[in-house]
Amino acid sequence: MNDRRLDRRSRQRAATEAEIRDTARQLLIQSGPDAMSVNAVARNMGLSGPAIYRYYSSHDELVGAVIADLFTELADAVRKAGTDPVDTGSGARLLAMSRSLRVWSGAHPNEFRLLFATPIPEANRHPASVRRQAGESFDEVFINEVEALWREHPFPVPDLEQADPSLRQQVLDYTERKGTSLPPAAAQVFLSCWTRLYGLLVMEALGQLAFAYSDPEPVFEQCLREFCDLLGIDYRPPH
């Protein structure tokens, strides 16, 4: 009896936590990150502000939990896109995954800005935080595909011995921290590709390309062409 009661309480708590996160996300969609206050979430649920703190100890923890949900959703969408191409090579999968990231960002502009274009609170930088863990899992969707590409067809890499010592050490630290099978020089190529892609998408999401481009899609495709050149894969235009 006691075990069943505990299970019921656990399910009820999990359901309430999910409702809190869903409510916060709706506020995010409607009005942006600043609308996700604890009081606003509580008001929309018919609760008092202190009631939320029984489930999330702080505003940062709540936002971190919402971000973790979004990273999981985005990772699932990107991973699924990687299974769509008829050509199942890593190059085709990477292009499909990159395009799906842009599609998701366009369909979820406020969510994308929360994930990639807002400062990360110190509490959510801790390795044990759900936000940090979900972000690391999302990173691995792309890095795992580049690892597969490296096994299939190693791409040209820079000589890290000739790189700035600080850059070389940071790449070595990143490779060790991620536990990737990529050699450090190959990891540097991946990071160059990712930062270009990420930076362009954030600029688009923030409306920072409008000074020069009214249609960002060909700009994005040009970025993918350069991405393909760095990784030694064939560029294929979207269907």
Q: Which domain CATH number covers 163?
A: 1.10.357.10
Return the closest-CA partner of residue 110 out of 30, 215, 38, 41. Answer: 30
Does the pTM of the predicted model rise above 0.85?
Answer: yes
In the prediction, which pLDDT does 40 show? 96
- Establish if 11 belongs to a structural domain: yes
**Is the same domain home to 166 and 210?**
yes
C-beta neighbour count of 85 within 10 angstroms: 17
In the prediction, which pLDDT does 134 show? 86
**Is the same domain home to 51 and 142?**
no
| DSSP 8-state class, residue 238 | -
The answer to whether residues 74 and 104 touch, using CB atoms and an 8 Å cutoff, is yes
- Establish if 236 belongs to a structural domain: no
- Establish if 30 belongs to a structural domain: yes
**Is the same domain home to 112 and 209?**
yes
**Is the same domain home to 96 and 46?**
no
Reduced to 3 states, what is the DSSP secondary structure of residue 87?
A: coil
Whether 90 shows a pLDDT value over 80: the answer reads no
**Is the same domain home to 127 and 197?**
yes
**Is the same domain home to 93 and 45?**
no
pLDDT band at 4, cuts 50/70/90? low
**Is the same domain home to 121 and 207?**
yes
Task: State the average pLDDT for the chain.
Answer: 90
- Establish if 51 belongs to a structural domain: yes
The answer to whether residues 131 and 124 touch, using CB atoms and an 8 Å cutoff, is yes
Report the share of the chain in percent with pLDDT over 90: 74
pLDDT band at 85, cuts 50/70/90? low
**Is the same domain home to 79 and 47?**
no
Choosing from 33, 56, 79, the residue where a domain stops is 56
Domain that holds residue 52: 1-56
- Establish if 81 belongs to a structural domain: yes
pLDDT band at 7, cuts 50/70/90? confident
- Residues near 127 by beta carbon (within 8 Å), at least 6 away in sequence: 133
CA distances, 154 to each of 18, 49, 182, 195, 239 (Å): 43, 54, 10, 20, 27
- Establish if 62 belongs to a structural domain: no
In the prediction, which pLDDT does 3 show? 63
Alpha helices in 153-216, H assignment, sequence order: 165-178, 184-205
**Is the same domain home to 146 and 193?**
yes
Reading the block at residue 226, the tokens are 């350069």
Residue 188, CB half-sphere, CA atoms under 13 Å: how many? 20
Q: For the chain, give me the number of helices (H) and strands (E)?
A: 10, 0
- Establish if 46 belongs to a structural domain: yes
**Is the same domain home to 135 and 179?**
yes
Rounded-to-integer distance, Cα 194 and Cα 172, Å: 17
Rounded-to-integer distance, Cα 227 and Cα 239, Å: 18
Whether 123 shows a pLDDT value over 80: the answer reads no
- Establish if 224 belongs to a structural domain: yes
**Is the same domain home to 22 and 110?**
no
| Structural domain count of the chain | 2
The answer to whether residues 84 and 93 touch, using CB atoms and an 8 Å cutoff, is no
Rounded-to-integer distance, Cα 225 and Cα 152, Å: 20
Whether 176 shows a pLDDT value over 80: the answer reads yes
Rounded-to-integer distance, Cα 72 and Cα 80, Å: 12
Return the closest-CA partner of residue 194 out of 165, 223, 221. Answer: 223
Rounded-to-integer distance, Cα 201 and Cα 80, Å: 20
**Is the same domain home to 29 and 117?**
no
Max mean pLDDT range (47-51, 83-87, 103-107, 233-237): 103-107
131 or 36: which carries more pLDDT confidence?
36
